[in-house]
Amino acid sequence: MKTLTLLTSGVALFAASMASANEDLMTQMDNASQWAIQTGDYANQRYSELDSINKDNVGDLQVAWTFSTGVLRGHEGSPLVVGDTMFVHTPFPNIVYALDLNEDGKIKWRYEPKQDPNVIPVMCCDTVNRGVAYADGKIFLHQADTKVVALSAETGEVLWEAVNGDPSKGETNTATVLPVKDKVIVGISGGEFGVRGSVTAYNMETGEQEWRAYSMGPDEDILADPETTTHLGEPVGADSGTNTWEGDQWMIGGGTTWGWYSYDPEADLIYYGTGNPSTWNPAQRPGDNRWSMTIMARDPDDGMAKWFYQMTPHDEWDYDGINEMILTDQEMDGEMRQLLTHFDRNGLAYTMDRVTGELLVAEKFDPVVNWTTGVDMDPASENYGRPAVVAEYSTEQNGEDVNSTGICPAALGTKDQQPASYSPKTELFYVPTNHVCMDYEPFRVSYTAGQPYVGATLAMYPAPDSHGGMGNFIAWDNINGEIKWSIPEQFSVWSGALATAGDVVFYGTLEGYLKAVDSETGDELYRFKTPSGIIGNVMTYEHGGKQYVGILSGVGGWAGIGLAAGLTNPNDGLGAVGGYAALSDYTALGGQLTVFALPD
């Protein structure tokens, strides 16, 4: 039986608060035989207690069965398994399949939304979707066109629909949703179109909107109390979401929320990150641009913010802050702490107290990161919590129409949204990373609703003085802020990791390999090349007493946008096409689920 055990002493983080969370989903997540939520659990640990597949026998894995999704482009996220049913999603047009695991994956039902294809060119970096969610007998899908749909898990019948945004203004969706209590928490994409980011809660039974919290704007819009909402322990004060913007620029300020969400039932807080400010030309938006690039902790009942932490004030490099927040309880400086660990696009790994928002650790998780010398960790300093920017790599200080070269990491970050995993056995985090740098030239751009609002030209390439590859898969110690081991990869690691009680960590590569490594040493134990590059997240489940490992392959996403969309200009894909041009020598488009098991 799986337990969501985070303390090394074996105390279950969530057990005492099941009644306050969604009890059905909690029950499903508690069963290690299933994979009931995209993140593995509310804590976003992506850890499984299953251990039939372990480091001693994982080398014997074989393909058990496969399923074609019928869709090309990038396949992010993973299937869910609830009971005897697997739920598989696709990129646009966001088809959902329910597969009967008792009948060799026979299709029980399919849902195929009819979306306007005009939404495709408004989607920034491929037509990806990070998967469906389950709760209370329903499957929740957030479509590319921002429609939120509740389906009967048994029949696929549409139970309700809610429209979350307007694609004609550049508002789209690529993310999954988070069911919490009686609500479904939903984000928005579109920072490259001047969208103002928000998170919205819909009633799980009716689809009625219950609250919306914007990333920037007046206090009543961002759902922040000037006196009780804090930033690094201090009240944020009145007008915190507008007073670091010039005029009304906050209205097109970005800060979109297309990443992952976590929930701590004991603290009764949801956690997520906000994205880059708009435009990418920093000279056009002076100030700290709060609350873009921010970790947010909110009450799921009414959306009110408990604390914020802005990681990259006045972002000059498109270092979106939307990556996952991983919740653990660990010993630190002789006491047990309720921690939140976040690997940001900006190349810094943060360890924080998730209840108070106290900043505990901020260290580079790739040594080539050069835009900053580090974060000021002195609480008495006026720059406490701020990264010190290196002038040479400041895209604003160097000026508009000036090409700043050799900035590390590139805009796609030391890690993009592909989620890390955590093993309570080793107390290590297993992190897919990008070892990529860039040249960045800002230029002046005007805002027009529904049109790109980028204002920069980028070129990307492997970090200098390295193994020549564009990625690493690392093990990270979040208490000491250091890499324990690192595996170089030819291309960025763009898949989500999975850690298991069998002392195995799984991840995928852009060439299409599923790999298994020893959780203690990083030694490779297994590899298998799937039909297309992997940007999906590895998951595991048990059926009929047998453990399986599943992965979606289908190259795409930002790194694979050249292949996915047939682009050849090196500067297209916001600079990624040129950086990943060699990827076409190793893989091609696809859309397939591959499921692995040990031989009988």
**Catalytic residue list:** 318
| SS3 of residue 564 by DSSP | helix
Instruction: Catalogue the E-assigned strands of 354-403.
Output: 359-364, 372-375, 387-389
Instruction: Indicate the residue type of 435.
Output: H
d(C-alpha 486, C-alpha 356), whole Å: 32
Q: What is the C-alpha to C-alpha distance for residues 321 and 311, in angstroms, rounded to an integer?
A: 8
> What does each C-alpha distance from 374 to 350, 367, 386, 427 come to in angstroms?
12, 11, 8, 24
CA distance 292 to 346: 13
- Contact yes or no for 503/481 (Cβ under 8 A): no
- Name the nearest CA neighbour of 142 among 153, 156, 128: 128
Overall residue count recorded for the chain in this entry = 600
d(CA 150, CA 162): 9
CB atoms < 10 A from the CB of 221, how many?
Answer: 17
Q: Cis (ω within 30 of 0) for the bond into 257? A: no
* 3-class state of residue 191 by DSSP: helix
Per the CB < 8 A criterion, the answer to whether 416 and 558 are in contact is yes
Cα separation, 446 vs 193, in Å, equals 11
Neighbours of 339 (CB within 10 A): 21
Rounded to whole angstroms, how far apart are CA atoms 256 and 278? 10
What are the E-state strand segments in 143-248?
A: 147-152, 158-163, 178-180, 183-186, 198-203, 209-214, 230-231, 234-235
Q: Which amino acid is at 308?
A: F
The DSSP secondary structure of 29-72, one letter per residue, reads: HT-TT-B-STTSSTT---EE---SS-TTTGGG-EEEEEEE-S--
Query: What phi and psi, each to the nearest 5 degrees, are found at residue 400?
Result: -65, 150
Q: How many CB atoms lie within 10 A of CB 424?
A: 21
